[in-house]
Amino acid sequence: MELVTQADKQKLERLLVEYHALDKVLTERIAEARGHGDLRENGDYHAAREEKSMNNLRIRELGIRLESLQVISHEEMPSDMVYLGARVRIKDEGTGNLEVYKIVGSLADEPSTEYREVTSTSPIGQSLMKLRVGESVRVTLPRGERRLTVVEILV
């Protein structure tokens, strides 16, 4: 099960609508290319069929993904707990540096200079999820281990 915000779910639903619209266009392209004669040597026909096949696969995968989503609501989460969509100020205990992270689903927002985005499935994202203000966690990363403490949840 994938956890997403309502905004992420809406993005996925819009993407599915776009794929369905593209499917209609591709069906028309196939019909038009079919009218150009011998299908064995018709590059437009084969290209359109290949593109339609890939688009149909995207539609199926996205449909399955949408069925298995769980939408996380900010109102349902405690105000002192890290959750999907929250911005959180953390302290790196090794360096003493303060950083702001935003826990995002697989569909990130536009890049920000105010915070770094980490997905909820990344090592840092998984470690921070459900922590409360004042709690610490040890995170194993490719560059080594870090100890992080939640200083503030900015929502």
Structure pTM?
A: 0.61
Look at residue 151 in the predicted model and tell me its pLDDT. Answer: 93
pLDDT of residue 95: 92
Options 3.10.50.30, 3.40.920.10, 3.40.50.300, 3.40.630.30; CATH of 74-153: 3.10.50.30
Q: Is 5 helix (H, G, I), strand (E, B) or coil?
A: strand
- Fold of the domain built from segment(s) 2-72: Helix Hairpins (1.10.287)
pLDDT value of residue 146: 92
CA pair distance 118, 7, nearest whole angstrom:
17
Euclidean distance between CA atoms 92 and 67, whole angstroms: 38
Q: Give the model's pLDDT for residue 108.
A: 58
Q: Where does residue 4 fall: left (phi above 0), alpha (psi -120 to 50 degrees), or beta otherwise?
A: beta
Specify burial of residue 23 (Cβ count, 10 A radius: 0-12, 13-18, 19+).
middle
Q: How do the pLDDT tens digits run along the chain, 155 residues long?
A: 677 777 788 888 999 999 999 999 999 988 888 877 777 777 788 888 899 999 999 999 999 989 988 787 766 666 778 888 888 999 999 999 999 998 887 665 566 677 888 888 889 988 998 899 999 999 998 888 999 999 998 86
- pLDDT of 8 reads 80
Q: Where are the domains of the chain?
A: 2-72, 74-153
Residue 1: per-residue pLDDT:
65
Q: What are phi and psi of 81, to 5 degrees?
A: -120, 140
The answer to whether the beta carbons of residues 150 and 133 sit under 8 Å apart is: yes
How many whole angstroms from its chain centre is CA 94? 30
Beta bridge partners of 90: 99, 150
